Structures are given as C-alpha cells and as structure tokens.
C-alpha cells in the first residue's frame, strides 16, 4: 500500500493552487494537504483550511493574521503569518512535496528553502527559474531535491524526453495559444483594456499570468524556464503559435523525428502528472477525442507585435541578472496595467526601459538577485511617473 504524501501548496487560493486541491480531493488515499498559504485571500484560505484540515496555514499579509487566527480557532490548524513564515514552513519534516504556485518573484525564497531541505518540488512558479535559474540549478546539484514542472508546456517536454538521451535533442518547440490578441492588428493594441486582455480564448488562469499571455511575455518566460530545466540553449528553443492549445509542446531530435504531447487545455492534467510521478494517476476525467480536433494549426509568432518575446530572448542570451530585471519590471508593469495606469503597449516599453537602466551583473549572488529585483521595481515604477 502506497504511503500517503503530505503536500505543501504555496499559493493555494490561486488558480493552480485551487486545482491542486482538486487533485488532492480526487486521490484522498494518496495525498494530504499539510500546508496551505495565501497572500491576501483570507476568506478562501479559511474555507480551504476548514475543508482540508492542514496542519498549518500561512497568510503572507500579516495584517490579516488575526482574521485567519480567529476564524480557525479550535480547528487544530496552526496559523502563521508573513513571507518568512512560508520559507520556514516548507522545510518541516512532515512535508514530502512542495507545490510552488505563488505568483512571480515571491516564489524564489520558498523554492530555495525547499531545495535545501531536499523536498520534491512541483514547480508552477516559472519566475523562480527565470529570475535565478543558474542559482537554482546549482543548488540542485548538491541536493536530493527534484523539480517536476507543473505547467502544461514543460510537463509536455518532460513527457517527450522520458527515456531519451538529452544529447539527442535538436530543439525544443514551445507552443503558445497566441492569447486574446493573436489576430488583433498592432495599431489596435494601443486602446485595448485590461478586461479585453483578461479574455483568454482557451485557458482559465489568474489575472497576472493571463495578461502575460496577452503580451506573450509568459511564453518568453517559459522559454527561459525550459533553458534551465532541460539544459537546452535559448537559441535552440523555438516558439510557435498553436491556437487550439492541444499540442502542449514538442521535441525535435537529431534524426529529424519530432515527439509531441497532446491533451485538453486543462491544468488538472499537468498537475496530476507532476504529483503522480514517477507513475501516472488514473482518472476518468478529461478525456480527449482526436476526431474532435481534426485540424491543428501552427504559425510563427509576431515579434513586432509582441516585443516582449524578443526582450526575453535578449535576457536569456545575456544571462546574469538580465532576466531578473525583466521579470521585476514586467510584474510592476502588469500591475499598473491592471490598475489602468498605463496602456497595453506601455508594458513592453517599461520592461525595455528598465532593462536598459538597471546595472548588469554577470555572475550574481542571491543577494544580487534580491537587490536587482528591488532596483528594477523602483526604476519601472519611475517610468509610470
């Protein structure tokens, strides 16, 4: 009989976190949600804690600590608060797997702590590898920790590479839906609203990642993440637009053959795969009939209309702290766009401005990443003013 695994879900109230809890509920004999964390969604965190009965919950926004504490009084759930509490909680001996579903830079420190503690990591926070890929891969060399990608594209790469010699990989082919503005003329993008950008044609995601999909920054970040996860140089990672979102990614090998992983555009699938490794978890849900998708199309992305793609490749080529700068500036820009403080096209302009303004560091330490993140956010914010 397989031992039940204790799961820490960092960002349990977000889209990936909620869907991870769906998987926990689907396989109660295999998984227990031992730790749940949220930034500010106190009411949902309370609801999740009462349903799943974790040993601990952490609310990152310390002003909401009393609210969560009072609501869970008598439940037996330990309530903690603050970002540092998340870092400390993931290393607990009773936690087997850490699902990092936090948004943006905030996932870096907990992921580092989980690696140092030797935890299995189901990584949904791509920014961790975008910001500090060299640092993370270096830590993994001396740790028993293993990272399994949760997102559909990198999960697809992983499945295509099982049993293969990575030395035989010619290139990785990263698919993109194209987002809500794939067919929108560039001149019309100047007037699109946040509401327009949040209408993704295929995927149900949180606001930040949905805007990143609209600008295609998300695909640029996934390219950088793939570079570190699979050891493939950025210039051998090709991005193609695939509007149907059925082929989640492909691998081309040196003999010219191509392997692809197909599935419905539903995040439960890659989450289930990552949690089930090294095996697969049987389910009756989410079946796909290929006859329903008789036509699958692919096209080249428009780098002129989506300049953040080019900026991502530039950052990948430069290395050092360049991607950290890009990520920080993008987080500030997306937040400003969602608050209607800047236009859609200003997102790329802010990122480009920040990348050109923040000093480059070729071999950054952890402290350098922290300082770069803070400086890039300051510079990006100055662009708005």
Question: Hey, where are the domains in the chain?
Answer: 5-149, 154-318
For residues 218 and 203, what is the distance between their CA atoms, to the nearest angstrom? Answer: 13
Q: What CATH homologous superfamily does 5-149 map to?
A: NAD(P)-binding Rossmann-like Domain (3.40.50.720)
Cα 308 to Cα 223: distance, rounded to the nearest angstrom: 12
* Tokens 């993109």, located at residue: 176
Cα 29 to Cα 79, 102, 267, 272: the distances in Å are 25, 26, 21, 14
Give pLDDT tens digits for 220-264: 999 999 999 999 999 999 999 999 999 999 999 999 999 999 999
Residue 296 has pLDDT above 80, yes or no: yes
Closest CA to 58 of 89, 30, 33, 31: 89
What percentage of the chain exceeds 90 in pLDDT? Answer: 87
- Write out pLDDT tens, residues 8-60: 999 999 999 999 999 999 999 999 999 999 999 999 999 999 999 999 999 99
Does the structure show a pLDDT above 60 at 1? no
Cis peptide before 177 (omega within 30 of 0): no
Q: What is the pLDDT of residues 164-192, one digit of tens each?
A: 998 999 999 999 999 899 999 999 999 99
Between CA 212 and CA 123 the distance in angstroms is: 18
3-class SS shares of the chain: helix, strand, coil, % to 5: 50, 15, 35
Q: Which residues pair with 7 in a beta bridge?
A: 33, 97
Give 146's pLDDT tier (boundaries 50, 70, 90). very high
| Residue burial 212-239, b: 16+ Cβ < 10 Å; e: rest | bbbbbbbbbbbbbbbbbbbebebeebeb
Are 298 and 250 in contact by the 8 Å Cβ rule? The answer is: no
């Amino acid at each position: 009989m397989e031992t039940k695994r204790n799961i820490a879900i960092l960002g349990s109230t977000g889209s990936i976190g909620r869907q991870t809890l769906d998987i926990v509920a689907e396989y109660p004999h295999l998984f227990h949600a031992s730790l749940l964390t949220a930034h500010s969604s106190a009411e949902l965190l309370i609801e999740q804690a009462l349903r799943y009965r974790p040993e601990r919950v952490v609310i990152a926004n310390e002003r909401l600590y009393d609210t969560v504490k009072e609501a869970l009084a008598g439940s037996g759930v330990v309530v903690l608060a603050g970002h540092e509490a998340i870092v400390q909680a993931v290393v607990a001996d009773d936690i087997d797997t850490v699902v990092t579903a936090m948004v943006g830079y905030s996932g870096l420190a907990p992921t580092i702590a989980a690696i140092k503690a030797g935890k299995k990591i189901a990584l949904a926070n791509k920014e961790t590898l975008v910001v500090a890929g060299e640092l993370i891969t270096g830590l993994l060399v001396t740790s028993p920790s293993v990272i399994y990608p949760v997102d559909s594209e990198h999960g697809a790469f992983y499945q295509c590479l099982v049993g293969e010699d990575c030395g035989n990989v010619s290139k990785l082919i990263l698919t993109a839906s194209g987002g809500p503005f794939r067919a929108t003329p560039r001149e019309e993008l100047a007037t699109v609203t946040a509401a327009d950008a949040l209408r993704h044609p295929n995927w149900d995601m949180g606001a930040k990642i949905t805007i990143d999909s609209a600008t295609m920054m998300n695909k640029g970040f996934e390219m950088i993440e793939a570079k570190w996860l699979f050891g493939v140089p950025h210039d051998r990672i090709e991005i193609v637009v695939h509007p149907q979102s059925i082929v989640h990614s492909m691998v081309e090998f040196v003999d010219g053959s191509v392997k692809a992983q197909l599935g419905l555009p539903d995040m439960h699938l890659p989450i289930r795969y990552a949690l089930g490794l090294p095996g697969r978890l049987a389910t009756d849900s989410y079946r796909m009939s290929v006859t329903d998708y008789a036509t699958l199309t692919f096209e080249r992305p428009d780098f002129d209309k989506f300049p953040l793609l080019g900026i991502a490749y530039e950052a990948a080529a430069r290395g050092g702290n360049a991607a950290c700068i890009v990520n920080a500036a993008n987080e500030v820009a997306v937040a400003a766009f969602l608050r209607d403080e800047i236009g859609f096209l200003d997102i790329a302009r802010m990122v480009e401005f920040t990348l050109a303004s923040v000093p480059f560091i070729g071999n950054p330490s952890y402290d350098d990443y922290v300082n770069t993140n803070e400086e890039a956010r300051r510079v990006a914010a100055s662009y708005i003013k």
